[in-house]
Amino acid sequence: MELFNLSLIWAFIIGFGVIMYVLMDGFDLGVGILFPFAPTETDRDTMMNTVAPVWDGNETWLVLGGAGLLAAFPLVYSIILPALYIGVFLMLAGLIFRGVAFEFRFKARTSRYLWNWAFAGGSTIAAFAQGAVVGAYIQGFETTNGAYSGGALDWLTPFTVLTGLGLLAGYALLGSTWLIMKTEGRLQEWAYRITTPLLIAVLVIFAIISVWTPFVDDMVRERWFDHITMIWVLPALTLLCAFQIWRSVRNRFEGMPFVATMGLFITTYLGLIVSRWPYVVPPEYTLWDAASAYESQLFLLLGLLFVIPIVLTYTAWTYWVFRGKVRAGEGYH
């Protein structure tokens, strides 16, 4: 007998894990995307130092998301990964180069420019690939008997290129507002300067995506226009967040632009979930279709409920240890 609807709990956990990953790795990927445009090499050092102590903890959420998905919703894992085969490879290659660059760039002298490129290129490719995944998810997947049956590059369409660029711009915005919060002087001034153009880019791309989406998928169109009386709240909140970013940059607030950008991401994310709920492998499978066995979901949940609070505590503690401004020529130690 099933006492709880475990699949629903798991959908919440995975959904939470995904947004944790997007927000946390989002800003450090964003710093990588902005890397080549930084005013000076010293500023690049500082930029890297702002994220160095926390980036690999952030990426652990991706691994947890992958493993959790396999445990709780194996069908999602076994359809979406083959469907995005080439994209997943590009993302992993990007993350590898970027991860190694973190460690070797500070040791390199004459070859430093190579590690700069590895860091910026890896971050950009990984961010773009993740954005394309979002687009592919809205598009839906071709399946036969619970397995992906489309082609290798079905995921790559003009629509997914646009969502890829959208997330790229979004992460860059998270990165620039993070830098506003974590740096000062010339670098902070630069971050202030680029935030508004980035915000405009994000809004323009989001607007095109919003207009385009109903044409990509009928189900989304019906969902949107049948429930318009309730769904308008989310785009309204998104715009409110955007206004808040613009206003707080104008007023030279330091923390608020980052907080408001996170708000922008959360409302957009909720909008995405609302558009597709409860389909996890659209257009065919709901989260209940994709669920693993009840005993398996329960077995892992018991451990997770015990460990996740400890993990969150540790994560918060790390951010507390490395709080405050990062200055040029000064690491955390």
Give, as ranges, the residues between 149 and 208 that touch another protein (CB under 8 A): 149-152
Choose, by CB under 8 A, the member of 9, 20, 104, 231 that binds another protein: 104
Distance CA(150)–CA(272), nearest Å, equals 23
String of DSSP letters for 284-331? TEEHHHH---HHHHHHHHHHHHHHHHHHHHHHHHHHHHT-S---TT--
Distance CA(240)–CA(237), nearest Å, equals 5
Binding status of residue 316 toward another protein by CB under 8 A = no
Binding status of residue 117 toward another protein by CB under 8 A = no
Binding status of residue 9 toward another protein by CB under 8 A = no
Binding status of residue 278 toward another protein by CB under 8 A = no
Binding status of residue 235 toward another protein by CB under 8 A = no
Binding status of residue 106 toward another protein by CB under 8 A = yes
The stretch among 30-38, 143-151, 217-225, 243-251 that binds another protein (CB under 8 A) is 143-151
Distance CA(317)–CA(304), nearest Å, equals 19
Give, as ranges, the residues between 20 and 79 that touch another protein (CB under 8 A): 45, 48-49, 52-53, 55-57, 59-60, 62-64, 66-68, 70-72, 74-75, 77-79
| Pick 77 or 265: Cβ nearer another protein | 77
Choose, by CB under 8 A, the member of 231, 266, 296, 325 that binds another protein: 296
Range list of H helices, the chain: 6-34, 41-51, 55-72, 74-83, 85-104, 112-139, 158-182, 185-216, 218-226, 228-231, 233-250, 256-276, 287-290, 294-321
Beta bridge partners of 148: 143
CB of 4 to another protein, least distance (A): 17
Binding status of residue 99 toward another protein by CB under 8 A = yes
DSSP one-letter code for 143: E
Choose, by CB under 8 A, the member of 4, 5, 36, 111 that binds another protein: 111
